[in-house]
Structure 1
Amino acid sequence: MLGPVLVDGVEVAAPRQRALLAMLVLGAGRVVGHDQLINGLYAEPPAGAVNALQSQVSRLRRTVPGLLIEHHPAGYRLVADASQVDHLRCVELLAAGCAAQALALWRGPALADVDAPFAEAARQRLSEVFINCVLSGGTTDDLRDLLGQHPLREDVRAALMRALHLDGRQTEALEVFARGKELLADELGVDPSPGLAAAHLEVLRAQAPHRGVPAQLTSFVGRDEDLRRVSKWLRDNRLVTLIGPGGTGKTRLAVEVAHREPGEVAFVDLSATTDVARALLDGVGVREAGLLSVGPVGVEERLRAALAAREVLLVVDNCEHVVDDAARVLGDLLAACPDVRVLATSREPLGITGETLSPVTALDDDAATRLFLDRAQAVKPGFHAGHDVITEVCRRLDGIALAIELAAARVRSLPIAEIAARLDDRFRLLSKGSRTAAPRHRTLQAVVEWSWDLLTDTERDLAARFTVFSGGASLDAVTAVCESDVDTMTSLVDKSLVEVVGDRYRMLDTIRAFCAARAPDLAGRHARWFLARAQEAEPHLRAHDQIEWLTRLGADHDNLTAAVTWATGHDIGLALELVAALSTYYWCRGLRTEAARQAEAVIRACGETAPRGREQEYALCLLIAWPFAQGDQSGRIGQADALLGALDGPPRYPIMTMMWGMALGPPENDSQTWHRRHRLVGTDPWSGALALVGDGLVARMQGDPETGRDLLRRGALEFGRVGDRWGAALAHHQLGEIALEAGEPAQALDAIGRAHALLTELGATEDIAELLVARARARLASGDTEGAAADYDEALDVGTRAGAPHVRATCHLGRAELARRNGDLGTAWAECDQAWELTPGGWYSPDEMRCHIALERGRIAKARGDHAAAREHLHEALRRAVGQRNLLTESAVRAELAAPAGP
């Protein structure tokens, strides 16, 4: 029944017998009346219809031996079990939750070869069974096919969206919703149903993960009512601030709220930074600039661009020491990004209009006692004590969560009665502190100082020295910079003065502030140690263990920043060495604006002349900072060029050669320039691979694709041998471009796919977006316009989420070409306008992008028949191409100028 009608795999040839069999099977096990059978077989029943029906039954029995059809006074009955009838078996399997097996029974449309009056209604009923099979057990392709047959079925559309989401294809899922919404409006004049809207919301909420939310190392105790209240307020308000003294549990509560949020969440800790916007940008997962991208945009502008179209909860922790900047940045963000919500923690309100304050106060007796027992049993399994004693300790600690946890950690080494006695003495002493300080602050100071007094001299010394680190440290860093030992560090962890997460150690901010007042000055030692680590890591960033070493340096990013900042103000030679040693790290991680800001500060501290012996480092700072420098950028480039030109051989850091080439652009076509550049290329394998790729890029731009292809292939191979994913991705991307220009879209897609895999491994979001643009162009060249449009949409989504205007500009330019090819010239022109507005200035060269926009505008004008405008735009494109010394683009523009008018 589920396809052409078959009996044991055999077709019933006679159409009317086949229809009769189908009606009997549909009623298997029960009597089907004479009138029902006659009306189902004949549009106009003949004279003697009962005899005609009897004749058909007799013929059917002879045609299908073994078919048991019983005659009853009221009609006929097919004797068959449900297991013998495919549509009944299908229903049973569905009810048993075996949808995939049920779907496998279908061989095509139900009753595919039956043409009789009853058939259409029967097919409709069976069609619902098929739809249920697909909804419950179909693949993404099955659901897509089904939606093509039933485009107004919202349950099918919702199921396809969820299936695409499970496949990691969120952008496609959102496109399915958008098309459905438009279709419902056009065809039925209605909005999506609650079920379809719910599927849309699920995809939106799941598009991005919870970023940076700390893992919970202990159970959440004592603030269930606060949790419910804050979660509710966040649903109704866009800014909720948890306020209270240090140690009351503001961060712990915020983390718990974050873990329970269903949508996108980004957790940002401001305790180790004074740059609020930079910390927020990192927290929302935006790379400062892609490895292959362009575009100098201010950090705050980039942050607003990244969040303008996102529904996200920002959990911003420890605002108190940067409260003015936090209030300004978050206030601007909330005003510019309507779907952003903020949960902040601070010791004082941010003072932003619309802020909802949620005080985090002391725990009540019951909650405090439960917290003490939970933490005490964690450090001393089996711990028990009288309820009244524990309650008294917690009361004397004023119910402050941090104080309770610190006290509970002592039960491993002190009896509870001794803890209570020491608290009594200590609180009486410290209650006589400054009368102008809030009592809760004096109490917390007492708790921390009491913990301090319980330490040995060696432990106190290490606790104070540990405060030199920003954002935590590895054990190697602690033992080297603090000149300590592992046992002492372990003891501080045991006594809850230091936390350990994975293989890194960190100190709670409240404790760190207390200990820092007693710390010696180790900043210089700290900076020199991290310089050695950066220098050790640099060659690994160009090798097979690239990812591992990027991760290592990334974990110490706050320490590296602190080292550069201190050295800039105290030891300029050390600062120059640090920026130079970190240049490859910053490049691979895409932190170019941050690196430029640091390099600019170092240059200003140095003055206009490089310190003797530090010429290379100074030149590298110039190259890092020049795209973002105010004033005479060309002067910076010339100064760097002169310093590098004076070198006798390759620079100390090979990345400098690449940055020099990018700053100067394609070389003039003379042997002296080529010799000068190649003199600075090292003999190491990475530099050799870079030279091959660089020469390949130049050959392609100068109109020699075959040479370019050969050099790039060799460069990709060499980068693969040394293990640098960035270099190999660059080479494969360019090979894809050459294949596309040669009319080989299949080869282009293959090369772009290789680059995509490498950049995915690096986590290079913006670069992946640019590769999606390249893939879209390759798909368009292969005739896959739908695939091209989907890639442009996905790239635009990624570029918008990342706040990358250059990526967005290339997407709009690609959409312009699609619209022009489809004859929609108005849309094509509007897309060009958007691309032009988004094209950034300053980062290497926006002229190439504007050249391509002008070229597309020329093509659109030509398609309109406006030949004067076409010539104007094409001549502008030509001027920009010549200025770029890009013979490839220049040739394309000249060919368009020479081509006859046409679409």
Structure 2
Amino acid sequence: MHVGILGPVEAHSPDGKIAVGGPRPRTLLAALALRVGEIVPLDRLIDELYGSEPPSDAANALQGQVSRLRRALGDAGLVEFQPAGYRLVLAAEQVDAHRFAALAADGEREAERGDPRAAESLLSEALGLWRGPALADVALADHATRLEQQRVSAVSALIAARVRLGRAEVREIQDLVHQRPLDERLRGFLVLALAQQGRQAEALRAFEDARAVLADELGADPSPELRAIHLQVLRGQAHREPPAQLTGFVGRQEELRRIAGLTSRLVTLTGPGGAGKTRLALRAAPPSAIFVDLAPAKDVAAATLQALGLKETVLAPEDRLTLALRDRDATLVLDNCEHLVGQAARLAQHLLSTCPSLRILATSREALGITGEALCPVPPLDPEQSAALFTDRARLVNPAFVPDRHTADICRGLDGLPLAIELAAARTRTLTTREIADRLGDRFRLLGKGNRAAAPRHRTLRAVVEWSWDLLTDDERDLAAALATFNGGATLEAAEQVGGHAVEVLEALVDKSLVEASDGRYRMLETIREFCSQHSRADAAHAAYFHALARRADPELRGRDQVEWLARLSAEHANLLQAVEWTVAHDPARALRLIGDLSWYWYLKGSRTEVGDLARALLARVPEESTEEYAILLALAAPERVQSKLLELRGPIRQPFVLIAWAMLAGPPDPSTPRIRLHDEVERSEDPWVQGLIAFSTAYTGWMTTGDRETAVRQSREALRRFQDLGERWGSAQVLDVLATITEDPREALALTEEALLAVEELGAEEELAELRARRADRLLALGREEEAERDYLQALDLATTAGLAATRALAGAGLARTAHRRGEQARADELLREARRELGFGWQHTAARQHVEELLSELARTREA
């Protein structure tokens, strides 16, 4: 059911128009509809139906009219009786006057918010509900007058929105002025609409007409607002409106809030090409802003004059602009300043100092660099906004598009750059998201088609980045190509040494949005890096720098500052792997040395398995030799061959990973095994770290062979002191673990294990964390703390999976099997042990773990038999 009162009173049901009846039923329906959903008192309804001469039995007469109306509507429940009166049981939106009021209010609210397009749409819809004069066929004059006033207000707001959009109808405004000749707001709209159509003479005449009418009728001069419009027309200030956008705006709420909150009169949006600076500026600028597109321009002042609709005169362009803008409260949008940044800065400085009410919103890939400028960086979109933009644009070409997991991969691969995302979304018409994601390695070819109507520099991804590249100096291009070599970003020191340019050149690349600076590192977006890397790369210099860094860091990883150096190398992890990869392909001799220098770092970090393929590739390229570097290479690429290579080593051992590899592959020393030269070399070492390792090894093997607990504890304490004097956490943790194994007190064993865990947690050493977490679980289980033990076993399992430690995974699985058995979950315990057995392979650690698993299987079997 719908009721209409914006015109003749009528009602409509789903079956069509309803014959409401004569004047009184129509008046009753209108009176109830005006207050739909509310109880209308009986005396008010009688007054509106009968006026000043109600019948003697007015209450009965009203009841009779209600009955007629109910019959006409076909549903008695629509007019509900209450002790205080009657109520029309409809929602407000089912009465056109209420829907009109809601739409008009929303439209005026959008106008106040600065969105004339939304305002025009809402107000047009609201006014489209009118079918003629309100309440045209009933005698409710006061209500009709009020509704007409609302209509006039909405019409005025609609015209205001259209004027702001530059598409007001002159004839429509002239008709309204004829109806309301003293409405100064309408007079102003008429002047502006004529000026916007280039009819300046008529606009000036319209102002003079307004002046004359106001003087004759009211004896008053035009208002300040109307005089300001007249002055604007006199100065020829019919300006270029911001271009309307053809697609929806997505995201950028944080940047919009920042722009709105800035008090500076010059705000510059900075960011790389394709970041969406222009769209953001158009969204943030008021609809009345003066838009100056500088992309095709060669002179900023001339382009600004053209945008204002002004012709050049004998005055200098800057002075002509000052005259036009001096008394205006206006916003000037200078878009795409980067190639004319010096000119833009000078004009902005001049206008801001001569036009006190002017505000400038600029977009540029670098700051204008003048006093008072506030910068608003425009970063890539976050993952959620990127996916929303991709989905929105994809549905324009493929209405059935549904985002999937590849959507996020595409957006991440494109750095969250809006233009790149839009170009990729357009490909969903012919490609699946998986196919697009798989082709991002050749993104410049993939995204080589764009909007034919866009500016050339925005048609393809390559054109966007090329625009920035062409604006660089030769030194900046050279350094950009060098920085593109870095997979993981660069420190200032690395950028200077590999790039070979002073810090000022690097700062210029940051200023021009080619490079991001954050937390002491300099990075490029992957799209920019891929483009720049097609030019003169610096791979050899990059590899040499990171080899020197690895060589310098290696001894520091066994001293007091090992946490800081481990963090430094971790920050360069991608660059270090890149250096290894390049040297394996182009300089195998250096690659062998570099792998040796990085071996202890990889061991502490738990990332040895990550370099397995590179190590195997290098093994095929270098000749066999009897060096510790070659032994390390074998430990990473072919561990089954390391034992024989260790027998050939001569001279002092420089790389501790040789000793660790020896221990990992050979297992605990067997006193009956003949000594080899390497034993003597190690024992003669003057390296304090190696001495601590010897003391630790002696304590452990002595206890294993003799069972002399007291001597083992004393020797372990001596080893612990040596490592702690060095400030070396890894060695300290190893000794603490041995002490925990030796002690007979389970609570002391747990405390020592927890102390060892704290030491390796500082390092983030994944292998040790996994092994110690599993041993802590063993010790918790020995104390009967089964739930805590289970949590630790699960953590150990996750850590061992990440570090690629099959033996530790097997031991953690065996521990979980033991906890399951204690709870009576026999089937689960058996399955966990079978999984643990499947994990095991080559090496003494695997052999020891297999023995442990088999013993536990036998133990559980005996328990069941008993």
TM-score normalised per structure 1: 0.47
Larger Rg: 2
Greater relative contact order (Cα < 8 A, sep 6+): 1
